[in-house]
Structure 1
Amino acid sequence: MPSATYEVFRQAILQQKQVVCDYDGHPRELCPVILGHTSGEERVFAYQVGGSGSKGLPPGGAWRCLTLARVGRAALRDGPWREGSSHMREQTCVTEVELDINIHVRGRRL
């Protein structure tokens, strides 16, 4: 059974909404793109558009791989949907993909 946090990220992808949360003690503002599991752990591959992190946040945002067990206070919010300008390599964050905005959500609109 998915965690409550997993369900928040699932709804964010389906509705193209941002997620605000805490991760390892840092506030994050995210646009989640891929949701699923890796080695039994719930994970999300997301574009961080605001907040902070242990490595800082470059201007314009950065791709992040988050283990959902380490996410706190996740909530949906309206805001512009953003993603990085390009993928230089295939993501390895989520190996068992349940939901991918580019396939499952945007693919239905084509």
Structure 2
Amino acid sequence: MPSRSYMLFRKAILTEQQVVCSYDDRPRELCPHIIGHNKSGEEVVLAWQFAGESSGKLPQWRCLRLAQVRAISLRKGHWHEGASHRTEQTCVSAIDLDINIHVRKRR
């Protein structure tokens, strides 16, 4: 059974909504792109962080372990995505939902 966090991020992908949350005790503003499980079986999401706080420069791709995400809310707003797709993602091993494959190709 997927966690509540997983279901909220999944809904955000399907409806192309932004996610506002806390991760590593930092506020984050994200657009999730791929959700599923990592090699260890943990629920994870690959998201483009466009605002909030970060240990590095923003915007950037983030791999979040959903068990560590807190205070999740969805909001309407401009959909953000990284301009660079030069390397294959390694965050999500078992993909459940990918906005570019499962959502946008349906339209």
Scaled by the length of structure 2, what TM-score is found? 0.96
Residue 57 (structure 2) pairs with residue 27 (structure 1)? no
Quick one: which amino acid aligns to residue 82 of structure 1? H
Q: Distance in 1 between matches of 2:50 and 2:5?
A: 19
| Alignment gaps of 5+ in structure 2 | none
Quick one: which amino acid aligns to residue 89 of structure 1? T
1:72 paired residue number:
70
Answer yes or no: is the 8 Å Cα contact 1:50–1:57 preserved in 2.
no
Counterpart mapping for 1:30-49 below 5 A: 30-38=30-38, 39-49=40-50
Q: Distance in 2 between matches of 1:72 and 1:57?
A: 22
Residue 84 (structure 2) pairs with residue 83 (structure 1)? no
Across the two proteins, how many residue pairs are aligned to each other? Answer: 106
Secondary structure in 2 matching 1:94: coil
Q: Distance in 2 between matches of 1:78 and 1:57?
A: 24
| Alignment gaps of 5+ in structure 1 | none
Identity %: 59
Q: Distance in 1 between matches of 2:37 and 2:67?
A: 12
